[in-house]
Structure 1
Amino acid sequence: MSTPSRFKKDKEIIAEYESQVKEIRAQLVEQQKCLEQQTEMRVQLLQDLQDFFRKKAEIETEYSRNLEKLAERFMAKTRSTKDHQQYKKDQNLLSPVNCWYLLLNQVRRESKDHATLSDIYLNNVIMRFMQISEDSTRMFKKSKEIAFQLHEDLMKVLNELYTVMKTYHMYHAESISAESKLKEAEKQEEKQIGRSGDPVFHIRLEERHQRRSSVKKIEKMKEKRQAKYSENKLKSIKARNEYLLTLEATNASVFKYYIHDLSDLIDCCDLGYHASLNRALRTYLSAEYNLETSRHEGLDIIENAVDNLEPRSDKQRFMEMYPAAFCPPMKFEFQSHMGDEVCQVSAQQPVQAELMLRYQQLQSRLATLKIENEEVKKTTEATLQTIQDMVTIEDYDVSECFQHSRSTESVKSTVSETYLSKPSIAKRRANQQETEQFYFMKLREYLEGSNLITKLQAKHDLLQRTLGEGHRAEYMTTRPPNVPPKPQKHRKSRPRSQYNAKLFNGDLETFVKDSGQIIPLIVESCIRFINLYGLQHQGIFRVSGSQVEVNDIKNSFERGENPLADDQSNHDINSVAGVLKLYFRGLENPLFPKERFNDLISCINSALREMLPVQMKKLQRHPLCIKTVD
């Protein structure tokens, strides 16, 4: 390849890399905008709720005053009557008069209840919404700080990848140049040796000495160029190894950010929001239910909405609203240079000892980091549970505010023990904010540690695979491009990455032949999990699961892992069913051939027609049906 073509190819590779990094950078900016927009929408929603309940409190106050005026107007007319004197004495009245007094007392009671309701709206519900608004803004600011740190770390990783890629290109170009010069020296040597083989009887002695001297010079030049070529070749191999290791670490870091860190950041923004909103709305529900039980039918709709305040599903919807911002990007692929077809870390003899030492160092450091990070994780989870306990206190029941007596206590004294008037509220909020501060500090520490572990683990695993296949290293470095390695005998133990056939969106028969699995692991494992935990689940195969969890399970199966191997139900059943549906939906050739589909439907319909009369007879003999007929 000529020099201009080589430079053009290098520019195209760099331009493609820069374009991909630019897209990721734009995604990071868009993610921050989405989170900020979500916070603004929440604050506006809370402001609207405050305005709504403030106006409703005014209406309830006016209604209470009108009821009180109504009761007072008619009570004043009866105070001078004999009936009123008899009522004050022993309350032994005729039934119509007693009903009249009870009606007036009920109006006064309703007046007091509506005044209580207005007070709860003004001094409890509205104040709760104000606190939620403050908490949401504070949570967003703290999450934004962590997001900026994660973005900076991610860009550092991408810049590091760019640097090692440029270094690899430079050393590889120098290696090619040194090889060219070495071949040129070899050609000169062959030409000089050919001249030395001519008949020498007619050559003077002086010319013979000159030829010998020239041959020695060429030999020395060849030796120097041979040494230079060996040196440059070694540098090129090391640079390529470093590029491949950094490439693996970069892809792992980017994948972790989009799949895990983004979810954690959204959780931070949501921290306490749903639970606090749940408490505020339940305060409203409690007041309304105790005021008028006949309104339960309409309020049940609101209660169902309150019961559905769940951060996990809201987060999933939020991410689905902005798929372009939260969809993980494509993995960075190895960009070969100048026809270099080696796409694996080289474990040849010159660098094998160095790679082994580096692998051992990574293994030791990872062991220490994982222990430390696990402790930080436990502290973070314990702190999060403490915060959840703080924001899920069931303090929204105001039924005691509607317990009536003959006393003439004011409305304020009736609600003197409400949520916001308790002396401990200031201390509770201070403790909550202090705990939040500690949680964010530990979360930052955990995320930074897990990011470092992810990068080091990616390098460690790549080195482990490389050093474990040392006997195949020479074959892998010399085989022609686009020629797959020979399949091993024990295919069941191979990693998923070595299968020639695709698991998802592939051909089932080809996969079975290549993997040695009579039934694909994904089918067997998903059906086993559904059989254990999903047979009584409502909406199985109909309700969609979490797209994030579906992608996680899918990627684990594609790596040859079995994420459903343990017997603990730590996966959402709808997500597992979604993975199974995704697998069968993507097969190139469906399980039931298209040309036999109509025959299959006909068989099913025939079987149903034969079964229906039998089932109807059994149903008619059922005790419930007999009782209904009787």
Structure 2
Amino acid sequence: MTSPAKFKKDKEIIAEYDTQVKEIRAQLVEQLKCLDQQCELRVQLLQDLQDFFRKKAEIEMDYSRNLEKLAERFLAKTRSTKDQQFKKDQNVLSPVNCWNLLLNQVKRESRDHTTLSDIYLNNIIPRFVQVSEDSGRLFKKSKEVGLQLQEDLMKVLNELYTVMKTYHMYNADSISAQSKLKEAEKQEEKQIGKSVKQEDKQTPRSPDSTSNVKFEEKHVRRSSVKKIEKMKEKRQAKYTENRLKAIKARNEYLLALEATNASVFKYYIHDLSDLIDQCCDLGYHASLNRALRTFLSAELNLEQSKHEGLDAIENAVENLDANSDKQRLMEMYNNVFCPPMKFEFQPHMGDMESQLCAQQPVQSELVQRCQQLQSRLSTLKIENEEVKKTMEATLQTIQDIVTIEDFDVSDCFQYSNSMESVKSTVSETFMSKPSIAKRRANQQETEQFYFTKMKEYLEGRNLITKLQAKHDLLQKTLGESQRTDCSIASGRRSSTIRKQDSSQAIPLVVESCIRFISRHGLQHEGIFRVSGSQVEVNDIKNAFERGEDPLAGDQNDHDMDSIAGVLKLYFRGLEHPLFPKDIFHDLIACVTMDNLQERALHVRKVLLNLPKTTLIVMRYLFAFLNHLSQFSEENMMDPYNLAICFGPTLMSVPEGHDQVSCQAHVNELIKTIIIQHENIFPGPRELEGPVYSRGGNTEDYCESPHGERASTEDSVPDTTAEHHTSDDGKERNQSQAASEEPSVQVTTTD
């Protein structure tokens, strides 16, 4: 029998093995459950995908129908308008073209979303159904294969258990036989030792008795030794046999153990992976890939179709052109916009003479009228050109306002982690910005100022056209000799003031006008922006040309706007302007600098190259304008508004340049010089000459009467025209009421 300790150890080994096998069996059960759960999740996912695309197809169809209704609603209106008949000839206005393309894009999106809904229902959803069926069928077969693999693995584990038990049994028998063999060997050694001791202790006796006793004792000892040797031989044979069986059993156990470990490793590392990859997932991911790629293809083609339509709209938006639309409109309604026939001379009571009579006694009268018209035209053209440049500068400001690039809404589509932040970003739209109201008000004020100047410019151009036609007819009638005589007076008048200006550092007209305005008009609303009385402007200008100072003394009986007009008219008519054209680009380059101090420093460097006489006049003028701008709350003329009025007057844009775009830079330059005049122009120590002084309390001289502002077509009345009843006489005696423009503050968008 084996020892209790050994038997207990065998039970522990078996218990540990059983525990390990139970754990493996539990793992195998959980593996099948996990695969079952994965199959259920897969089926549920495919079902959710089907429900999702089915619902999305309904939404796409509803969206398509709503888009179609929207397009048809407005297309019906378009078909009923007259513009539709021009569409056949591709003769539509660019905004109408954008509108038509927008409606076509809506119809196109409607068709595309109908197609998308059909693809969802009849292509993508059946694919998911097929994938779900294939996945369930393949999983059942995969489960059968998995169960078979698990049964084979359990057989291997059971075989290992049997081999291990056999090994334990034979090893126990071998140990028992070895123990018995050792016991027999001990008995043999004990018997031999006992025989030797008895022979040594034996006493001497008689010869006969001694021999008999020895024989009997030897026989007994020999018989005992033989029995022990025979038992030892049997036990040795038994031990050898059991030892051989134990070795064979151990070898079988080791072989089975290696095979079992290899089988377990193969099952967990290879079989399970192959079972999932090649059985459970067979074709699942590929089929799902094809279904989702069908969805991607549909969406991408929808996006491509939408982009094609948007590209067409973008092209139409880029082709929005006012000039082309104007030309197209006039071509469409040619009978409405074509010029009428000229008015022909209608003879009265047999008077067939249709030409001017330039013979005596009316010849001298015609010559005088020709001279008056030429002088008047010269003044009107200068004034109208000034109004035109102011109008163009204001137009550029309006264009800067209406063309500001505020259409980028990409920030509204920047998604963040929280929905609140997305909502707050989207809510900050164009219309919710606080600056919109201010910008709209500024735009409306600027538009009002622009239309006032436009009206003034058109009226002036109309007057110039009428007077020019009369003047040309008079010149044609009087001949080339009379034409030469008509130009003499104008040349004399324009040269008088130049001679007067060259005799002093600050021209009399500049000094006198600035002195009068600084005394009486610093708070006059709209100074330099509102047109004055043309009659008074001509009278004051003629007085200065004669060498007189009509503004001398403290009399305040002149119209402030007329005096401001005389000052601007003087600078406009200079033969050599304050800002020569050769420094135009250098000065405009300074405007690109953002830092106002650096900009002023560079402007100073450019202007210091001018003659000292020019710098003295500039220093005087801009010091006055800076002083005037400090009363902007009363006169509504801040530095920028003053720059709009004086920019076209002081610094004309050279030929070959874009007048509108360059004028904005000119205005910014004049504004900078007004603000930074102390840093730009040298002081009295560096440049000797008159300096503008603000004088005493200006508030005592700021009340200006608002006199009537009237202008006539002819600056010099026709003394011989009293007996005429023609339109010419009416025009010369007709006054123009110049109304004050409302205050305007224009913000630059440079």
| TM-score past 0.5 threshold | no
Structure showing greater radius of gyration is 2
